A and B are shown apart, each in its own frame.
Chain A
C-alpha cells in the first residue's frame, strides 16, 4: 500500500507549474490536496513518474467577489469554503453541498479544484457547478481560457482540461433575488460517496420560473445536467408542477447508469428521481419564500 516512487516538484508560480506539466507530458500529474490522488497512488490504480505539487503556487487560493461573480481559487480547501460566510451568502448551494463531501478530516485538505478536475461521477461539486452554470478558469502554456461547466465534464474521470492545463479558479454566479437551492443525496453512510444525488437551483421571475438548473451525480459516467427537465421547467408556473414528475423526467433520458453491488442501475434511477423531487421541492419553496 505504498505509492510507487516519483520525482517531486513544488513550483512557486503558475507559469512554472504548467511549463513542467507540458515538459513532462503524461508522466506527470498535478497534486493538490491529495485526497483523491494519493489513495489512487497508494492502491497503484495510478502511477506517475512526476508529481507537481501546487501548494506553493501563488494566486490559487481565495474567495472573492469579481465582477458580479464569486471567484474561488482552485486551491481553496473544502474546509475554507465551509467556513466562508461569503460563500453561504452568495452561493448557498455550494455551502450546502460542502458538508456532504467525505469527512471534515478530508475537507481540511481536499480542494475545490481537485474535486472538479478529478470529476468523480458521484462527487457533489461537479453537479453543483452544472446546476449553477459555473465557469472554470484554466491556464496552460498557451494561455488562459474559460470553460463553461456544461462543456467541462466529458466522460468517466475525464474533463476538457489538457494534460498541461491547470484549473486556476471557479466563478459562480451570485445568487439573485427570488431564488432557491437544495442538494439531496442518498449514501449508505454519512461521508460515503453518494449512490445517487441531485443539486437543484430555481430562479423565479414573477410567478414563473426564469431558470431551473438540475445537476445529477452518481447517475452516469460523470456529473450530468438534466437538460430535458430543465427545459420543461423554464417558464412554467411552479404551482402547476408535480415534483415526482420532475424527478421522473430528470432521470428518463439517462443512459449508462452505474450498477454495482450497492445498487442496480434501475434502483439508482429510482433513488435519483426521488432525490431530484425532494431537492426541487425544497428549492422552489425557498425561492417562493425569498
Chain B
C-alpha cells in the first residue's frame, strides 16, 4: 500500500512525514511525534481519551487518519499549557478540584473542556454535563471534573 506525504502543524511546530494511510492521527502523534499525552483507550470513538484540537475543533484522534489531517493545525495536551509551563485555567482547575486520579482520561477531558469553554464561556451545569458526556472516566465519579470545569468557566466563584 502506498505511503503518503503529509505536512501539518502540531503545537506550533511544522511536521513532515511519509505515513501509511491506515495510521490514525493519535498513533501519528504518539509514535511519530513522541507526543504521548494523547491517550488511546477504546480506539473506536467511544471513550474520548484521544481528544485533540484539529483546526481549533475538538475531535477524536482515533477517528481521523493522519493523511486526512494533511495541511491542518493540531493542538494536543502538550500544547495547552503556556510556553513557560504555566498551566492553562482548565488544567489549573483540574488540579485544584481533584479533577483526576489515575490521569488516563485527563488529556481528553482537558481538551474537551477547553473546546467547550471556547464555544460557550459560561455554560450551565447541564451544558457542562452534556459537553463532557463524550469522555469517560473510570476513577473520579465525575464530580471533581464537573467542579473543575465550573471553576475554570468562572474563576471568581471560589
Contacts and interface: CB of A to CB of B under 8 A. Distances in A.
B68 A53 contact: yes
Given A79-B57, A191-B133, A51 B21 contact: yes
Interface stretch (B40-48, B85-93, B99-107, B147-155): B40-48
Contact of B65 (A34, A103, A104): A34
Interface residues of A, number: 32
Contacts of B17: none
B134 A102 contact: yes
A104 B62 CA distance: 15
Contacts of A51: 21
Contacts, number: 93
Interface in A52-69: 53, 55
Contact of B57 (A7, A34, A108): A108
B133 A189 contact: yes
B134 A106 contact: yes
B116 A4 contact: no
Interface of A: 1-8, 10, 31, 34-35, 38-39, 41-43, 51, 53, 55, 79, 99, 102-106, 108-109, 189-191
29 contacts: A1-B44, A2-B22, A2-B24, A2-B27, A5-B21, A6-B21, A7-B21, A8-B65, A34-B68, A35-B45, A35-B60, A38-B63, A38-B65, A39-B45, A42-B24, A53-B67, A99-B130, A103-B134, A104-B115, A104-B116, A105-B59, A105-B60, A105-B112, A105-B115, A106-B63, A109-B60, A109-B63, A109-B64, A191-B134
Contacts of A8: 2, 4, 21, 65, 67
Given A6-B22, A34-B63, A109-B63, A104 B68 contact: no
B14 interface: no
Contacts of B4: 8
Interface of B: 1-2, 4, 20-22, 24, 27, 42-45, 48, 51, 54, 57-60, 62-65, 67-68, 112, 115-116, 119, 129-131, 133-134
Contacts of A102: 134
A34 B22 CA distance: 12
A1 B43 contact: yes
A105 B57 CA distance: 8
Contact of A7 (B2, B27, B64, B116): B2
Contacts of B48: 103, 105
Nearest to A99: B130
Given A2-B22, A7-B2, A42-B44, 17 more contacts: A1-B42, A1-B44, A3-B22, A5-B22, A6-B22, A34-B68, A38-B44, A38-B62, A38-B65, A43-B44, A102-B134, A103-B48, A104-B58, A105-B59, A106-B134, A191-B133, A191-B134
Nearest to A10: B67
A106 B130 contact: no
Given A3-B22, A5-B22, A39-B63, A104 B1 contact: no
| Chain B, interface SS category | mixed
A288 to B, nearest CB: 28
A103 B65 CA distance: 19
B133 A108 contact: no
Which 5 A-B residue pairings sit nearest by Cβ, starting from the closest? A103-B134, A8-B21, A1-B43, A39-B44, A108-B57
A41 B64 CA distance: 12
Contacts of B1: 5-7
A102 B57 CA distance: 15
Contacts of A41: 22
A71 B1 CA distance: 38
A88 B121 CA distance: 22
B90 to A, nearest CB: 15
Nearest to B126: A190
Contacts of A42: 24, 43-44, 62
